[in-house]
Amino acid sequence: MLQDSFATRLVAWQKQHGRHDLPWQVRDPYRVWLSEIMLQQTQVTAVLEYYARFLQRFPDVAALAAASVDEVLALWSGLGYYSRARNLHKAALMVMEEFGGQFPAQREALQRLPGVGRSTAAAIASFAFAQRETILDGNVKRVLTRCFGIAGFPGEKAVEKQLWALAEALLPADGSQMTAYTQGLMDLGATVCGRKPACTVCPMVDGCVAAQQGRTHELPTPRPKKAVPTRHTVMLLAQHGERIWLERRPPSGIWGGLLSLPEFADSMALERWLECMGQGDVLPSWPELEHVFTHYRLIITPVPARLDTLAATGVQESAGQWIPLQQALEAGLPAPVKRLLQRLLA
């Protein structure tokens, strides 16, 4: 029965075929935690460069806690899901203030940190402290649903509850195997049991329900399809000399806390705003730019404008600021805004 041999097979496979050269494969809980937050909904290849830069600037949790949120967001710019960066900073402060600068070893305590859910806390506890805790991220859900023939969308509460129970039952009895076991779960899902599984090299193939029944294409059960809505916005690239007007977005929501271009529902609203700011010219719109979020598509119409003179009483400075264009590119910006400013500079 696969359940009885699952952990033994996985550990043996990981030691021979798994990944052993990732920079966060260490016992340091700070480095493990940092990597786990970055790897949430992001591929390893995209994280490697950001991870190295973060460690160079923030070598430990004390350095991260001492930094400003703006510094953290600037380094995070381009990695997406910016709430992770804000939570990263909040969690660093919490580790310093509530845990004396030391990460707790228990999953339940780790889960108190902002941005750390059950699976992420389990990964930190397993890798850094060899705790017998199971992870259950997207890769693991794919492995378990296929190996054990579990139907139903894994995001549904009932299915997820079933997967958590199974994942806990599969844990090796020997805590010293936890690092290899947990890494093996990640490696198997990322390198073998992907969307197009390589069943011939999988250590579970002779006991895998999906492989034996020809169901790898249908498991895990996909999310019920919903129409992805499309939203439209007009973004203004207002220049005064060598400076660009940027506004700080609200702390929550899309691109929370980042500097961004002012947005308008239509060109008339944009022109009224410009009239309040001063005198100048609105230039022809650039081609539309599409940016895809998890739940909707955003179509951006970029409108450049040059202001020759500023009004004495324009838009309140608290709503935004004029920033030298080159300096703006070094700040924490949403990825599409950064692309627009790079084009403007070019």
Q: Given this model, what pLDDT does residue 227 score?
A: 84
pLDDT digits (tens, 9 = 90+) for 219-247: 999 988 888 899 999 999 999 999 999 99
Do 88 and 208 belong together in one domain? yes
Domain count, the chain: 2
- Report how far apart, in Å, the C-alpha atoms of 85 and of each of 9, 53, 102, 116 are: 37, 14, 20, 12
Q: What is the pLDDT along the chain (346 residues), one digit of tens a residue?
A: 899 999 999 999 999 999 999 999 999 999 999 999 999 989 999 999 999 999 999 999 999 999 999 999 999 988 988 999 999 999 999 999 999 999 999 999 999 999 999 999 999 999 999 999 999 999 999 999 999 999 999 999 999 999 999 999 999 999 899 999 999 999 999 999 999 999 999 999 999 999 999 999 999 999 888 888 999 999 999 999 999 999 999 888 889 889 999 999 988 899 999 988 889 999 999 999 999 998 899 999 999 999 998 887 666 655 789 999 999 999 989 999 999 999 998 8
Beta carbons within 10 angstroms of residue 72's beta carbon = 22
User: Are the CB atoms for 289 and 205 separated by under 8 Å?
Assistant: no
Last-in-domain residue among 181, 213, 245: 213
In a shared domain, residues 88 and 165: yes
Full domain range(s) for residue 293:
230-345
The Cα 330–Cα 77 span in angstroms is 9
- The enclosing H or E element of 345 equals helix 335-345
- What's the distance, CA 272 to chain centroid? 37
Annotation marks residue 36 as catalytic: yes
Residues 168 and 246 both lie in one domain: no
Distances (CA, A) of 32 to 4, 89, 147, 269: 29, 15, 28, 47
Task: Tally Cβ neighbours within 10 Å of residue 317.
Answer: 8
Sign of CA dihedral 149, 155, 157, 161: positive
The pLDDT, as a whole number, for residue 194 is 95
Q: Which of 36, 168, 263, 288 is catalytic?
A: 36
pLDDT tens column, 264-289: 998 889 999 998 888 999 999 999 99
Q: Are residues 165 and 249 in the same domain?
A: no
Q: What is the pLDDT of residue 14?
A: 97
